[in-house]
Amino acid sequence: MKTIGIIPARMAASRFPGKPLYPILGRAMLEHCFERARFFNNWDVLAVATCDDEIRTFCESKNYPVIMTADTHTRALDRVAEAAEKCGTEVEDSDIVICVQGDEPLLGPDMIEAVLKPFQDDDTVNGTMLSVPIIDEATFLNPDIVKLVHDIKGDVLYTSRSPIPYCKTFSADIGAKRVGGIFAFRWHLLNWFTETPESPLEKSESCDSNRIMDNGFRQRIAPAPSRPYVSVDSFEDVARAEAAMKDDQLWQQYK
């Protein structure tokens, strides 16, 4: 079983144009993501996927493998799937392709291990997503942050930009969770995803994973390790990421 890691990145992000190359503590956000992802030792392939010459040039300057993709993709997973097909190794149905979003500057190899663990524990699992506890109301209410609800077994039922599950007064005790930017798929499920039209709830929520649930499939949650984890969805998140990174152990190893 091969493990293929793809980091999708594009300059035209609607909420934060130019985000992949925006500096965080003096390093491009994409650089943080790649350097931290490669602390995981069991990649068969780890590469950046982009449609932008500017990102390609940056990757080449850092000797990061980069795969050019079409500029028509509206969903990161479609870009990841195209890149996996072009990654230089034959990808079999049972191989695992991991989407490592290019706006997760505090990811770690333990998070890669987390999204792989459900496959090792249960051979019926075909897809996973990193889940992160929501401990503050601002995150719960923020429409830039995708929330999730799951069943007792841990299979995701729904993802939304609205605050779910419903509560009259927010408390960390309700167990709300958000989607972390690391997803893993058996190749056959990711391939199916790219061949299936956008679903109604995927369109209305602007959440890729709803295409999977709308069609009767499931992704298993992979609880994130308990430590600071800041996704950069908007410019305002940069300061939060920098503050968290100053005390981060991985940053000390590659800065």
Mean pLDDT of 195-223: 95
| CATH code of the domain covering residue 185 | 3.90.550.10
Mean pLDDT of 167-175: 95
Mean pLDDT of 218-238: 92
- Number of domains, the chain: 1
Looking at residue 185, its pLDDT comes to 98
Looking at residue 110, its pLDDT comes to 96
Looking at residue 207, its pLDDT comes to 94
pLDDT at 49 over 80: yes
Write out the residue range of the structural domain in which residue 125 sits: 3-254
Quick: pLDDT tens for 129-149: 999 999 999 999 999 899 999
The rounded distance, in Å, linking the Cα atoms of 77 and 180 is 14
Looking at residue 15, its pLDDT comes to 78
The residues, ordered by sequence, that sit 6+ positions from 82 with a Cβ below 8 Å of its Cβ are: 49, 69, 70, 73, 194
pTM, to two decimals = 0.96
Maximal CA-CA distance, the chain: 51
The pLDDT mean for the chain works out to 95
Return the axis-axis angle of helices 76-85 and 187-195, rounded to nearest 10°. Answer: 120
The rounded distance, in Å, linking the Cα atoms of 129 and 5 is 14
Quick: pLDDT tens for 7-32: 999 998 777 899 999 999 999 999 99
The rounded distance, in Å, linking the Cα atoms of 102 and 61 is 17
pLDDT at 124 over 80: yes
Q: Which two tokens stand for residue 75?
A: 């969903």
Quick: pLDDT tens for 68-107: 999 999 889 999 999 999 999 999 999 999 999 999 999 9
